[in-house]
Amino acid sequence: AQTVTQSQPEMSVQEAETVTLSCTYDTSENNYYLFWYKQPPSRQMILVIRQEAYKQQNATENRFSVNFQKAAKSFSLKISDSQLGDTAMYFCAFMKPYNYGGSQGNLIFGKGTKLSVKP
């Protein structure tokens, strides 16, 4: 079974600085997807970034980028130029691709990291 571990329950960063959130996972699969979701106080689940395991290039979305180390099974999220609106719970998640008769494309979440951006 797949597991996702986020070892930092809480983190804080000053506005405009850079912060990195850690995530490790365990799987025997070779093909899968990894995600970072943001959950602000409104509790809406917002997709931040997505990485395909077969792609060596790290995904980037504006101020958000990942460091994907497949061999180490590590998937960290870097937030540059942190903004007050980045304050939220961040969840790392793993998904096996849909496979007829097998995986149904379900998400497995880590426990989350609560990020506070301070002015």
Partner 1 sequence: AAGVIQSPRHLIKEKRETATLKCYPIPRHDTVYWYQQGPGQDPQFLISFYEKMQSDKGSIPDRFSAQQFSDYHSELNMSSLELGDSALYFCASRYRRDTFNEKLFFGSGTQLSVL
Angle at 111 between CA 64 and CA 31, to 5 degrees: 65
Of the candidates 63, 65, 74, 107, which one interacts with partner 1 according to CB under 8 A?
Answer: 107
Is 50 a binding residue for partner 1 by CB under 8 A? The answer is yes
Q: How far is the CB of 37 from partner 1 (least distance, A)?
A: 8
Helices (H), the chain: none
Look up residue 89 and give its two tokens: 């719970």
Convert 85-117 to b/e letters by CB count within 10 Å (16 or more is b): ebbbbbbbbbbbeeeeeeeeeeeeebebbebeb
**Rounded Cα–Cα distance for residues 77 and 58 (Å):** 10
Residue pair 86/117 in contact by the 8 Å Cβ criterion? yes
Question: Least Å distance between CB 81 and partner 1?
Answer: 25
Smallest separation, CB 90 to partner 1 (Å): 11
Binding string, 63-82, against partner 1, x = CB under 8 A?
--------------------
Q: Does 44 bind partner 1 (CB under 8 A)?
A: yes
Which of 25, 35, 68, 94 contacts partner 1 by CB under 8 A? 35
Contact residues: partner 1, CB under 8 A: 33, 35, 42-47, 50, 91, 95, 97-98, 104-112
